[in-house]
Amino acid sequence: MKKQELSVLETCFNKLIEALLEKKEESEEFIAKLSSEQSQFTRFNQAKVRQTGYVADGWIELTLIHNQRSNFRQFAFTGNWEVDWQVAYKALSELREELPLLPMDPYVVLPVGKNISREIHSGNLLAAEAVVPTVLEQVAELDFTGLYAGGVVIKAYGDSSGQKHWFATDSFTLDYSIFTTEGRAVKGILAGSDWNNEAYIAQINYEKKQLELLSHPAREVPRGQYKTYFAPAAVADLLAMLSWGGTSEADLQQGGSALALLWRKEKQLSPVFSLKENFRRGLMPRFNEWGEMAALELPLIERGVLVNTLVNSRTAKEYQKTSNAANGDESLRVPEVSVGNLGFEQILPSLDTGLYVSNLHYLNWSDRPTGRITGMTRYACFWVEGGEIVAPIENLRFDDSLYRFWGENLVDLTNYQEFIPEVGTYEGRQLGGSMVPGMLVEDFTYTL
């Protein structure tokens, strides 16, 4: 998006907030949140273009609060002031009529404070006409399937207390799989704000070597406990489970958190394991649904000990806690797991005999109070003997507790991290992702 186009959208949004301030009644409060993007989407199948197009989209969610009651409307945002204000004023009028009919909410959060921020992160993305030749040049002879999504994503906020935020970032993701003739696959993800063709070539070359290994006959591994190396993508999948009944203060208060044993100090994790939220990389906005600004860094687990949970203002009000500007779901937004001491060249020798797991899928809690997670291996997972990859494996189901694989059974973490982005596009391109190392674990439990 050109700077001029971006400026027009920002000006229109700010003007809309000012108009809402003029039209609101003295006893009313409002919150307006903008999500917008201009993105190039190109879908590949068998190293051919199956679908390509450009999407310009935007919508505003307007929440009106009065007398302990709240309701919201969503409507399209075009950047055309005359059109957008007409729709916004209609939404305001309808909300005003509906609010007296709704029940009171004792924990409704009113907009307060004077937080103001403006972040624009410019990148160096592929031009729309360069996406196809650049991506396919390296994989023309392969069974390559994937989705490229790139462009600018905008998040903005304004409310009746005067808080105002504007966040715009150039970013891309290339989420793909490369298949063998036997139907096995290597999965890859490339993401960032600057396209690096050398990094893409190096990644594809590495995955071609994995494809060769996948062509060997698969080995069936009987259920049991095996020493396992989890690549960063697999670690990110496990970490994501903490956003679903893990690091949330509300989940802890309501008895639904997998970290309750850690919270009560009945358990602790390995001193090798530390987790924090880190907004310093500018991957997504620091402001939440109420315009509150999160700290640049928030430690959650330090050397195996739970030191903070994610607390939003609604939870703080309900349970007399202090908010740390978590989002509405109290989920992880930009989690980072600290590195260990395991170098890349040491991974296979340190594993010696066991499983090399590149990716996981179908994860779920099997017993949340004890932190047990179940799921399956997927994509480029191998049996290793004597520090050498011997054969690919058939998919395995696992069931193990985070108190084991991040606790007493955690051998080490790699001395490097990888960024594993959010790649969802439902209702819009998702921002953020996990910065994680790989990890080596003793006696990981495979059940089928």
Q: Return the percentage of the chain with pLDDT > 90, whole number.
A: 96
* H or E element that contains 79: none
Q: Using CA atoms, how far apart are residues 261 and 264, in angstroms rounded to an integer?
A: 5
Question: Taking the mean position of all CA atoms in its chain, how far away is CA 101?
Answer: 37
Confidence of residue 312 (pLDDT cuts 50, 70, 90): very high
**Phi (first) and psi of residue 115, to 5 degrees:** -65, 130
Q: Using CA atoms, how far apart are residues 303 and 338, in angstroms rounded to an integer?
A: 10
**pLDDT tens-digit profile of 170-210?**
999 999 999 998 889 999 999 999 999 999 999 999 999 99
pTM: 0.95
Distance between the two ends of the chain, CA-based, in angstroms? 50
**Phi (first) and psi of residue 79, to 5 degrees:** 90, -5
Confidence of residue 1 (pLDDT cuts 50, 70, 90): low
Dmax (CA) for the chain in angstroms is: 74
DSSP code of residue 345: G
In this structure, are residues 415 and 195 in contact, taking their beta carbons and an 8 Å threshold? no
Domains of the chain, each with CATH number or no CATH = 3-212 (3.30.2290.10), 224-446 (no CATH)
Q: State residue 126's pLDDT score.
A: 96
Question: Taking the mean position of all CA atoms in its chain, how far away is CA 438?
Answer: 17
Evaluate if residue 213 carries a pLDDT over 90: yes
**pLDDT tens-digit profile of 384-424?**
999 999 999 999 999 999 999 999 999 999 999 999 999 99
Evaluate if residue 380 carries a pLDDT over 70: yes
**Phi (first) and psi of residue 232, to 5 degrees:** -50, -40
* H or E element that contains 197: helix 197-214
When pLDDT is averaged across residues 234-262 and rounded to a whole number, the result is 97
Q: State residue 55's pLDDT score.
A: 94
- CB count in 10 Å sphere of residue 394: 11
Q: Using CA atoms, how far apart are residues 134 and 174, in angstroms rounded to an integer?
A: 12
Evaluate if residue 2 carries a pLDDT over 70: no
Tokens of 236: 């990110």
Q: Using CA atoms, how far apart are residues 359 and 128, in angstroms rounded to an integer?
A: 30
Evaluate if residue 3 carries a pLDDT over 80: no
Q: Using CA atoms, how far apart are residues 34 and 42, in angstroms rounded to an integer?
A: 25
Evaluate if residue 4 carries a pLDDT over 90: no
Average pLDDT, the chain: 96
Q: Using CA atoms, how far apart are residues 110 and 313, in angstroms rounded to an integer?
A: 9
Ramachandran sector of residue 379 (left: φ over 0; alpha: ψ -120 to 50; beta: rest): left
Nearest to 392 by CA among 445, 350, 355: 355
